[in-house]
Amino acid sequence: MNSFTRAIAGALMAGLAGVVFPTPSLAVEGLPAALANEQEHYQRRMERLLRQLDSNGDGRLDRQEASRNRYLQRHFDRLDQDGKGYLVPADLR
């Protein structure tokens, strides 16, 4: 795990304390197995985080919903690379 991934994981885990994630069963094509498992695990955590914060159930996080997580609040503009005003799971990969 590189330092960027650790920083993201630490920041997001503050909002996910006590949540248990399943072990990934499928490898991401083209990546070594350990890295693929880590990537798959990260993606599942991000999808779960988005579902938890998505208060109106539209499948995306607007700035107000994202503000409930310090990491997403701080990095919203960087993660919303195309400037659409909301985040979807693909923005966190």
Any idea what the CATH number is for the domain that residue 50 is in? 1.10.238
Residue 39 lies in a domain: yes
User: Could you tell me what percent of the chain has a pLDDT over 70?
Assistant: 68
Residue 48 lies in a domain: yes
Number of domains comprising the chain: 1
Nearest of 37, 45, 47 to residue 89 by alpha carbon: 47
Helices (H) and strands (E) in the chain, counts: 4, 2
pLDDT tens digits for range 67-77: 999 999 999 99
pLDDT at residue 46 in the model = 86
Residue 77 lies in a domain: yes
Nearest of 9, 65, 3 to residue 76 by alpha carbon: 65
pLDDT tens digits for range 8-39: 655 555 554 444 444 444 445 667 888 888 88
8 A C-beta contact, residue 41 and residue 24? yes
Instruction: Map tokens 């949540």 to a residue.
Output: 19
Domain that holds residue 86: 3-13+28-92
